[in-house]
């Protein structure tokens, strides 16, 4: 019969398995003998069905053995179907149905065995050489500007700063007016700014401070937000400057916020960003939207303060501008400057990325040269 363990069909001749049939033996029989034979045949079919249901195939070869044993031209299904001619006419219909069901049962088992082995062996079955190396799936990488932006943002997020974003095409009020930039300010010059249209003026934002205005206008205080994003200036494109670049600005507004809070926040940032040994200095400066204002330098992390090309022999590298939010700016956003104070700061992303990744040309960041970008595949 069948060696179940191997799923292998024994090569028993069909006629021998059907030997119980008087008809097969060529014996002349009466109606009662038919009944007897049919009973035996039905019993035999049930046994075959059990065998079919229990048949397992591990590969294509065993599936083929199943097909030969049950569905082949000399298979059991055909042999059983051959018994039809011995069946009395009045029972042919009922018996035909049983035989047909048996045939469909064997065929459906054959199909499911084929699917099972195809699934375990892959679409082309054993024709695939599983020892071959797979097709490489090319890995993308984060852009160095994104890497630096994420790093800066993650440091401030630990101090409770949330991220806010805003439109890159801005109206005059959000980009200039609300920020206390007087009409004669050089930033408003046609030579410095990309105007989309004039009267009313629409510009490509020159800083992400416009997002600070939008956040303050919402009136939900206190505010502790970071504004990362792309900004535009009308500058000649070269290795050291570009007509667009990226910034991260920060804004903190609450009652009793002082310059000491600003300094402590930035000290924390510098230590996390450049290490514990880096020194910090503030230089008085001027911005229309902050008062007082300062530039912040850190001791050169390339030469350690001794002087090199990066720090232009000064030992210091300027990294950001900052200050206390000007009362006029608060008023422009309907915030009471007698009750609330706040600080703001802003830094470029390109400069620290240039230094960190030792890139010597700003244009590489925006040229989409895959040879450049794929060098950051392993960076996180
Ligand atoms: Zn240096």
Distance 354 CA to ligand 1 centre (A): 14
- Is residue 3 very low, low, confident or very high in pLDDT (cuts 50, 70, 90)? very low
DSSP letter for 1, please.
Answer: -
Distance 304 CA to ligand 1 centre (A): 6
pLDDT digits (tens, 9 = 90+) for 204-244: 999 999 999 999 999 899 999 999 999 999 889 988 889 99
Q: What is the pTM of this model?
A: 0.64
Distance 302 CA to ligand 1 centre (A): 5
Residue 310 has pLDDT above 90, yes or no: no
pLDDT digits (tens, 9 = 90+) for 248-293: 999 999 999 999 999 999 999 999 998 898 899 999 999 999 999 9
Distance 355 CA to ligand 1 centre (A): 11
Distance 160 CA to ligand 1 centre (A): 32
Task: Write down the pLDDT at residue 305.
Answer: 83
323 — phi, psi (to 5°)?
A: 165, 175
Distance 348 CA to ligand 1 centre (A): 19
* Residue bearing the bigger pLDDT, 2 or 249: 249
Distance 299 CA to ligand 1 centre (A): 8
Distance 303 CA to ligand 1 centre (A): 4
At 250 the three-state DSSP class reads strand
Distance 349 CA to ligand 1 centre (A): 19
Task: Write down the pLDDT at residue 30.
Answer: 47
d(CA 375, CA 333): 44
Residue 349 has pLDDT above 90, yes or no: yes
Distance 313 CA to ligand 1 centre (A): 6
Task: List the structure tokens of 186.
Answer: 């050089």
d(CA 276, CA 148): 19
Task: Write down the pLDDT at residue 208.
Answer: 95
Task: Write down the pLDDT at residue 147.
Answer: 93
Q: In which element (H, E) is residue 372 found?
A: helix 370-373
Distance 273 CA to ligand 1 centre (A): 17
Is the C-alpha dihedral spanning 51, 56, 62, 63 positive or negative? positive
pLDDT digits (tens, 9 = 90+) for 59-101: 888 899 999 999 988 888 888 888 888 777 888 888 888 889 9
Distance 327 CA to ligand 1 centre (A): 37
Distance 184 CA to ligand 1 centre (A): 37
């Amino acid at each position: 019969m069948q060696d179940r363990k191997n799923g292998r069909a024994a090569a028993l001749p069909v006629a021998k398995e059907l030997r119980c049939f008087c008809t097969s033996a060529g014996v002349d029989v009466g109606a009662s003998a038919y009944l007897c034979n049919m009973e035996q045949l039905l019993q035999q079919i049930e046994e075959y069905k059990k065998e079919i249901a229990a048949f397992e195939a591990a590969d294509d070869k065993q599936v083929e053995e199943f097909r030969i044993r049950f569905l082949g031209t000399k298979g059991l299904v055909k042999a059983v179907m051959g018994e039809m001619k011995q069946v009395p006419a009045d029972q042919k219909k009922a018996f035909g149905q049983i035989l047909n069901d048996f045939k469909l049962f064997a065929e459906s088992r054959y199909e499911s065995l084929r699917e099972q082995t195809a699934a375990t062996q892959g679409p082309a079955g054993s024709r695939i050489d599983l020892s071959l190396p797979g097709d490489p799936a090319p890995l993308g990488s984060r852009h160095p500007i994104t890497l630096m932006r994420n790093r800066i943002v993650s440091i401030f997020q630990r101090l409770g700063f949330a991220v806010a974003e805003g439109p890159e095409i801005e109206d005059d009020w959000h980009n200039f007016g609300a920020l206390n930039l007087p009409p004669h300010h050089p930033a408003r010059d046609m030579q410095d700014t990309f105007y989309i249209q004039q009267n009313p003026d629409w510009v490509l934002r020159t800083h992400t401070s416009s997002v600070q205005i939008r956040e303050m206008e919402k009136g939900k205080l206190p505010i502790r937000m970071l504004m990362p994003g792309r900004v535009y200036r009308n500058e000649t494109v070269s290795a050291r400057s570009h007509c667009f670049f990226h910034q991260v600005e920060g804004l903190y507004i609450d009652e009793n916020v002082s310059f000491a809070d600003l300094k402590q926040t930035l000290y924390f940032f510098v230590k996390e960003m450049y290490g514990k040994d880096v020194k910090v200095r503030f230089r008085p400066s001027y911005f229309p939207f902050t008062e007082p204002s300062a530039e912040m330098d850190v001791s050169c992390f390339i030469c350690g303060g001794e002087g090199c090309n990066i720090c232009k022999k000064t030992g210091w590298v300027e990294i950001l501008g900052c200050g206390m939010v000007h009362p006029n700016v608060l008023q422009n956003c309907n915030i009471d400057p007698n009750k609330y104070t706040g600080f703001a700061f802003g830094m470029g992303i390109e400069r620290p990325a240039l230094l960190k990744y030792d890139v010597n040309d700003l244009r590489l960041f925006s040229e989409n040269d895959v040879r450049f970008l794929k060098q950051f595949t392993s960076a996180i």
